Amino acid sequence: MVLEVTLIDVLPGRADDFLAAFQVARPMMAGAPGCRSVRLQRSVASSDRFVLLAEWDSLEAHEHHFRRTERFAQWRALIATALAQPPLAEFYAEVLAGDFFGG
């Protein structure tokens, strides 16, 4: 499993537009084969910043079943008008499972 962490900055005053567009766009990502979950978090310090957290079976699942498909093109087109800049995505694999501090 890999975790996609995407930092999304929207144009000032366009957060509500982004959220409305994301509501429509979310099923395009969530319905892609290999997508386990999709969550959107909003910054408490900056109301125009969001973090998208998506769990994928693998990086290949993300690439082949979403990123390189029409699903992604439609997803991006829906949210694009509210973006301040292109989103920044990174992918993470778990390295330590369980309680890190042993308690």
Q: Spell out the residues 6+ positions from residue 6 whose beta carbon is closer than 8 angstroms to its own.
A: 51, 52, 53, 54, 87, 88, 89, 90
12 Cβ partners below 8 Å, 6+ apart?
48, 84
**What mean pLDDT comes out for the span 39-45?**
98
Alpha carbons within 13 angstroms on the beta-carbon side of residue 51 total 11
Q: How confident is the model at residue 8 (pLDDT cuts 50, 70, 90)?
A: very high
Q: Each residue of 43-58: pLDDT tens digit?
A: 999 999 999 999 999 9
**Rounded-to-integer distance, Cα 94 and Cα 2, Å:** 7
- How far apart are alpha carbons 76 and 31 in whole angstroms? 15
Query: How does pLDDT run across 70-95, given as a tens digit for each residue?
Result: 999 999 999 999 999 999 999 999 98
- Of the pLDDT bands very low, low, confident and very high (cuts 50, 70, 90), residue 96 is confident
Strands (E), 10-74: 35-42, 49-56
How confident is the model at residue 97, as a pLDDT? 72
Q: Domains, the chain, ranges and CATH?
A: 2-93 (3.30.70.100)
pLDDT digits (tens, 9 = 90+) for 19-35: 999 999 999 999 999 99
What pLDDT score was predicted for residue 99? 64
